Structure 1
Amino acid sequence: MTLLVCPLSQVEAARALHRPSHLVSLLSPTGEAVWPASDLGDAHLRLAFHDIPEPREGYTAPDAALVARLLDFAAGWDAARPMLVHCWAGVSRSTAAAFIVACQRGPERAERDIAQALRAAAPYATPNPLMVSLADAALGRGGRMSAAVAEIGRGADTFGGALFELPLR
């Protein structure tokens, strides 16, 4: 099982190199012009929301329905080929989604271990805390996902992430 994460700028290279069966695009609602082209049909999930840590007037925050769509999509992935997750910079929304999918796929794994694996794979990862909190509730993790992300804290300064793999086992 391979879960790949990258910024928008590296999606095409990652697709060519790894040939993922599933693609998750997490971009702003005003970013329709930059959505990557895809021939994956229903295996490409597009979620449009702002990268904000709490609801805010004039912005589209992630919500429970959006997280449910991500979880449903990931549940349908057979993991025979990689899933690629991206956002604009590859730092917050995509790392949150990867953490969420890893928690969903590894219900027996400690949230802390998954968060630390995320930090080891991407020192700049700063998962969106609202997405994580919503998934924590949806997966019945009792606040442990949020606590694990809070424990790893804000990632290293960066202008954008790079392609990385988050181990799912």
Structure 2
Amino acid sequence: MHRPSIQMLTVCGISELPDQRERSVTHVLSILDPDHPDPEVFEAYDPHHRTILRFHDIILPIPGMILPARTDVEAILRFGDEVGEGRADRAEGHLLVHCHMGVSRSTAAMLTLMAQSNPGEGEDALFERLVEIRPQAWPNSRMVDFADGLLSRDGRLTEALRRHYGRQIRRRPDYVRIMHDLGRGREVEMAA
């Protein structure tokens, strides 16, 4: 995913996918719960390259649920490599990353892809760009931790995530209750 080839970056939830089909999407990263059916809306999209990953939006083990794993973040990075390799085939592109709500898994994946394609960009700047793309972004901390290590960011991405959570809580104080209700209180504590 190099800037000359990918001109548009979008993060959304499943309910917003129909709104994106007229926007010349060239690449899609779908992150779905393991038992969720594949959204049929992609049949109406123009031809595009699509990768599907399946795991739950959790940060700690929960019986019967699948945690995001290092291998999932490795798959996101492989997707980023594929997007970058195909850049010579087109003048521009539109990358769409979605999960169920477009808040956590998809924003963690988009952050990972942006950090991969812009290795010299500062971590706080990456989070600022992420918020421009998706203002409600609350990236899954487990995924960001894996990305931090895989991209050799030496903890800087995770530290920037802490600051990001703090800014998001100041903007949206209701995130404290929401994240606690979702079993993600550890992420709220990270912001303190």
Report TM bin, short chain. 0.7 to 0.9
**1:24 corresponds to 2:39:** no
Preserved contact between residue 22 and residue 40 of structure 1 (Cα < 8 Å): no
What is aligned with 1:62? 68
Q: Which runs of 5+ in 1 are unaligned?
A: 160-169
1:94 corresponds to 2:106: yes
Describe how 1:36-75 pairs up with structure 2 within 5 A: 36-38=41-43, 43-75=49-81
Tell me how large the CA RMSD over aligned residues is.
2.3
Once residues 40 and 60 of structure 1 are traced to their aligned partners in structure 2, the CA distance between those partners, rounded to angstroms, is 31
Name 1:167's counterpart in structure 2.
Answer: none
Return 5+ residue gaps in structure 2 as ranges. 1-5, 179-192
> Could you tell me the TM-score, scaled by structure 1's length?
0.83
Task: Measure the CA separation in 2 of the matches of 1:61 and 1:120.
Answer: 28
Alignment-derived partner of residue 85 in structure 1:
97
Q: Aligned ranges for residues 90-169 of structure 1 at < 5 Å?
A: 90-153=102-165, 155=168, 156=172, 157=174
Report what 1:166 is aligned to: none
Q: What letter matches 2:30 in structure 1?
A: S
| Cα deviation code 1:73-122 (max 9, x no counterpart) | 11111453111001111111111111111100100000111112223443
Post-superposition shift, 1:12?
2.4
Residues 136 and 12 from structure 1, CA distance in 2 versus in 1: closer, same or farther, beyond 3 angstroms?
same
Counterpart amino acid of residue 3 in structure 1: L
The structure showing larger relative contact order (alpha-carbon pairs under 8 Å, at least 6 residues apart) is 1
Higher helix share: 2
